[in-house]
Amino acid sequence: MFKRLFGVTTFAALAGICALSVPGAMPRANAAAPYKIVLIAGIASDAFYITMNHGAQAEAQKDGATVQYSGSSAAFSPSTQLPFLNAAIAQKPDFILIAPTDKVALQAPIAQAVAAKIPVILVDTTLNDPSIAVTTISSDNVAGGAKVADALADAIGKTGKVAVVSVSPGVSTTDERVEGFNKQLATYPSVKSLGVTFTGDNPTRANTVLKGLVAANRDLAGVFATNTQTGTGVTAASRELGLSGKLKLVEFDTEPVQVEGLKAGTITALVAQDPYNIGELGVRYAVQYLKGKRDFDKHYGTGEAIITKENVDSPDTKKYLYAQ
């Protein structure tokens, strides 16, 4: 009798422990407990994602959620991002926001999260088949690239040679920026593009490349740098060549060092995305989903802005400048 009672209690206790340790498997008992959201960045140390995190944290405070920010600090690559995704799945959070570092390689791992009953929203970058996610939120990089083409063509008086300095082929965001740029640039018949040079995420190499391009093309009129790293390199090169303001630079992103270059006149214009808004929307939609909403659009776009010396200090522009 005693033995049997012991057995039953043990069983009950075990069942209780199981129930406790797998909260995701049970319906949420206490609605007041904050939703736990994990935000996995492309590169956690990058100002773009840090700004996105700031937006996510601010929204989480309003919505009664907590956001855990994670991701590799070293590289933008699937192999460095996967451990963070796997760790997140193991934690069984209520929701995952992720910026996939590769549209193919991350497809199956993210599907695993969905299979484990953790809903996902894709932020900034996307997947080949984004339908497994609740929705996708990003800036329109193609439109941003087109805006660069217009700004650069205007700056050089719609005639002359321009070059593109980009990171590496296969990165969806920078590839789309170049795509939009090339398409729009084709509408300016007197502007000749020297094509794209890839320098990796390495300012020193971007610096070298721009100096080489100028040595080979003394009449180079304008340059499009597709992100912060390439931008930092070409800005330094332009300064060092004594071409500040003469060689027109238009760059993506708005890190402090780029804003400084803009104010100093070395950079003609910056195209800003709105990572803060991406973070805010990601958390807002995640919480809405967890509260039962299901009718989301396939994609939500956040705006991008052209920032010049004239509007850089205006209050409307402020939110587009990345924190670091």
Partner 1 sequence: MSKTATANPPAKSAAPRNIFARSTNLYIFFVLIALIAFFSLISPNHAFFDRGNFVNIAWDTAEILLLAIGETFVIITAGIDLSVGTVLMLSGVVASWVIAQMGGPPALVASGHFPNAGTAIPLGIAVAIVIGGIAGLINGTLVTRLRMPAFIVTLGVFSIANGLGDLVSSSGAAGQSAIPPVPESFANTLGNGNLVFGLPTLVVIAAFIALVTHVVLTRTLFGRRTFAVGSNPEGSRLAGVPVTSHLIWVYTFAGFMAGLAGILDLARFHATDIQGHSLDNLDAIAAVVIGGTSLFGGTGSILGTVIGAFIPTVLRYGFTIQGISSFWQDVVVGAIIIVAVLFDQIRRRRVT
Residue 50 interacting with partner 1 (CB under 8 A): yes
Other CB atoms within 10 A of residue 46 CB: 24
**Separation CA 284–CA 128 (nearest Å):** 24
- In the bound state with partner 1, the residue whose beta carbon lies nearer, of 16 and 200, is 200
Report H helices in the chain.
2-21, 47-63, 78-91, 107-115, 141-155, 172-185, 203-216, 228-240, 256-264, 275-290, 315-318
- In the bound state with partner 1, the residue whose beta carbon lies nearer, of 43 and 271, is 43
State residue 307 phi and psi, 5-degree precision.
-115, 125
Residue 239 interacting with partner 1 (CB under 8 A): yes
Judge contact between 155 and 319, C-beta under 8 A. no
User: Considering the complex, what minimum distance in angstroms separates the CB of residue 54 from partner 1?
Assistant: 4
- In the bound state with partner 1, the residue whose beta carbon lies nearer, of 17 and 215, is 215
Binding mask 272-291 for partner 1 (x = CB under 8 A): ----x---------------
Residue 323 interacting with partner 1 (CB under 8 A): yes
Lookup: tokens for 300: 């939500």
DSSP state of 101: S
Q: Which of the ranges 124-132, 137-145, 180-188, 253-261 carries the binding residues for partner 1, by CB under 8 A?
A: 253-261
**Separation CA 268–CA 261 (nearest Å):** 9
CA distances (Å), 138 to each of 37, 61, 115, 300, 304, in order? 18, 22, 24, 7, 10
User: Considering the complex, what minimum distance in angstroms separates the CB of residue 239 from partner 1?
Assistant: 5
Which of these, 260, 259, 261, 257, lies nearest to 247 by C-alpha position? 261
Q: Which of the ranges 122-130, 153-161, 181-189, 236-244 carries the binding residues for partner 1, by CB under 8 A?
A: 236-244
User: Considering the complex, what minimum distance in angstroms separates the CB of residue 218 from partner 1?
Assistant: 8
> Of all helices (H) and strands (E), which one includes residue 242?
none
Selected from 255, 274, 280, 304, the binder of partner 1 by CB under 8 A is: 255
Selected from 83, 245, 256, 265, the binder of partner 1 by CB under 8 A is: 256
Selected from 10, 112, 311, 324, the binder of partner 1 by CB under 8 A is: 324
| Alpha-carbon Rg for the chain in angstroms | 24
Beta strands across the sheet bearing 191-198: 191-198, 160-166, 220-225, 248-252, 269-272, 305-307
Q: At what angle do helices 47-63 and 275-290 cross, to 10 degrees?
A: 40
User: Considering the complex, what minimum distance in angstroms separates the CB of residue 160 from partner 1?
Assistant: 18
**Separation CA 250–CA 220 (nearest Å):** 14
- In the bound state with partner 1, the residue whose beta carbon lies nearer, of 124 and 184, is 124
What is residue 137's three-state secondary structure?
Answer: strand
Q: Interaction with partner 1 in 180-219: which residues (CB under 8 A)? A: 194-195, 197-199, 201-205, 207-209, 211-213, 215-216, 218
Binding mask 62-81 for partner 1 (x = CB under 8 A): -----------xxxx-----
User: Considering the complex, what minimum distance in angstroms separates the CB of residue 76 from partner 1?
Assistant: 8
User: Considering the complex, what minimum distance in angstroms separates the CB of residue 232 from partner 1?
Assistant: 5
- In the bound state with partner 1, the residue whose beta carbon lies nearer, of 97 and 127, is 97
Total residues in contact with partner 1, by rule CB under 8 A:
49
Binding site for partner 1 (CB under 8 A): 43-46, 50, 54, 57-58, 73-76, 194-195, 197-199, 201-205, 207-209, 211-213, 215-216, 218, 228-229, 232-233, 236, 239-241, 255-257, 260-261, 263-264, 276, 323-324
